[in-house]
Each structure stands twice: as structure tokens, then as C-alpha cells.
């Protein structure tokens, strides 16, 4: 199983792409993290590869999944139903995790590298993985829309 995988980052464009082949996701205001699960051992990495397992131990602990997996997503804190980055920073600085939510949006590894698969297949595999293992809050599957942006 690999260590930290450098994430693909969004590219700012003036217009959303057109066509049915496109997949669109909500950009949540939070910390981009990867959760690495290796036969019961878990690590959480920031988008820059820092080990923040202790800061996100509640999220890691909720991902009770056998085998190997690397899940990409965003850790957020919601305020009045919407992610609030300043509250996430405050919660994190205080060492609190009770308001954290992890929006999982990609499965990069599942007992092998999945990055060459189409994103829609990886997202379906992620949804299946979360469902098969009865994963609940603070982990949520990040929905998407297909078609014109």
C-alpha cells in the first residue's frame, strides 16, 4: 500500500464544462484529507502530506473497513447547515472533533490502485464500500451531478 498520494486539485475556470460526460461535485469549504486504512491501522494526511491522524481520529475511527483503502475527501464543520471554515479552524485549534463531518468523494485505493479507473467507477466503488460496511456519521458520501455544469 502506498504512502501519501499527492491529490489532484481543482482548476479555476471561467465557465463550467458542457457535455454529459462531465461529473460535478460541491466544493466544500474545509480541509482536504486522505484517510489511509491498512488492515485496521489508519492514518490521515492533509493535502500537503502532513500526518493529521490525531486531529481527525474521530473520522478515522468511523471508517471501520477491512483490508486496504485510501479515501479522499473534505473535513468540514457545519454552521446553520453550511460548511464554515473559520469554525473548522477554531474547532481544530481547540482540539475538538465532535462537530467534524467528512465528505468522502473519491476512492483512490481498494486493495490495489484504482486511480486509472474512471472517476464515476471509483465513486460507485466508494459508495458501495461505505454501504457494505455500514459507515455512518461523521462520514458522508459526497454526491455528484452529471451533465452540463
Alpha helices, H only, the chain: 57-62, 85-93, 119-132
End-to-end CA distance of the chain: 35
* Catalytic residue selected from 6, 18, 27, 42: 27
Nearest alpha carbon to residue 55 among 39, 38, 43 = 43
- Let me know: does 52 contact 102? Beta carbons within 8 Å: no
Going from the C-alpha of 57 to that of each of 5, 51, 95, 101, the distances in angstroms are 19, 11, 11, 12
CA distance 33 to 53: 10
Is 27 annotated in the active site?
A: yes
- The helix/strand/coil state of 119 is helix
The catalytic site residues sit at: 27
Amino acid at each position: 500500500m502506498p504512502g501519501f498520494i499527492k491529490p489532484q486539485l481543482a482548476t479555476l475556470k471561467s465557465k463550467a464544462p458542457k457535455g454529459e460526460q462531465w461529473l460535478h461535485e460541491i466544493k466544500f469549504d474545509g480541509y482536504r484529507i486522505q484517510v489511509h486504512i491498512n488492515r485496521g491501522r489508519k492514518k490521515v494526511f492533509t493535502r500537503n502530506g502532513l500526518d493529521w491522524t490525531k486531529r481527525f481520529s474521530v473520522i478515522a475511527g468511523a471508517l471501520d473497513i477491512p483490508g486496504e483503502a485510501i479515501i479522499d475527501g473534505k473535513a468540514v464543520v457545519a454552521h446553520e447547515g453550511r460548511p464554515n471554515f473559520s469554525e473548522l479552524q477554531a474547532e481544530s485549534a481547540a482540539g475538538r472533533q465532535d462537530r467534524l463531518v467528512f465528505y468522502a468523494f473519491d476512492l483512490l485505493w481498494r486493495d490495489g490502485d484504482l486511480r486509472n479507473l474512471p472517476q464515476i467507477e471509483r465513486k460507485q466503488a466508494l459508495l458501495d464500500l461505505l454501504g457494505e460496511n455500514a459507515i455512518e456519521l461523521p462520514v458522508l458520501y459526497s454526491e455528484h451531478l452529471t451533465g452540463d455544469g
